[in-house]
Amino acid sequence: MMVSGNVLWLIGLVCAVWVIYDVLAKQKKMKDVHKVLWIICAILFSILTAIIYYVVVHHQKRNSKTKTVRRNKKKNKRRK
């Protein structure tokens, strides 16, 4: 039982560090208020925050890249 608690604590720590690092180092366009909220949530609810952060922020980035690629393909088809 104690080993599983230690593993869960380590996973939580890694999740919190990842969210904090990503917010501070990679999210240049994010407002400071949002950064602070993500960091506080990462400290309090590390694993849950990491899952939500991944879905909200990284999924949003992936969708915007996909839309940009689709727009560029449509523009290229029109030019031909």
Map out the domains of the chain as residue ranges: 2-79
> Which residue type, as a one-letter code, is found at position 67?
K
Residue 59 pLDDT grade (very low, low, confident, very high; cuts 50, 70, 90) = confident
Which residues, in sequence order, are CB contacts of 12 under 8 Å at separation 6+?
A: 46, 47
Segments of 34-77 assigned E as strands: none
Q: Which tens digits make up the pLDDT trace of 19-28? A: 999 999 999 9
Q: Would the pTM of this model clear 0.85, i.e. be above it? A: no
Q: What is the mean pLDDT of the chain?
A: 84
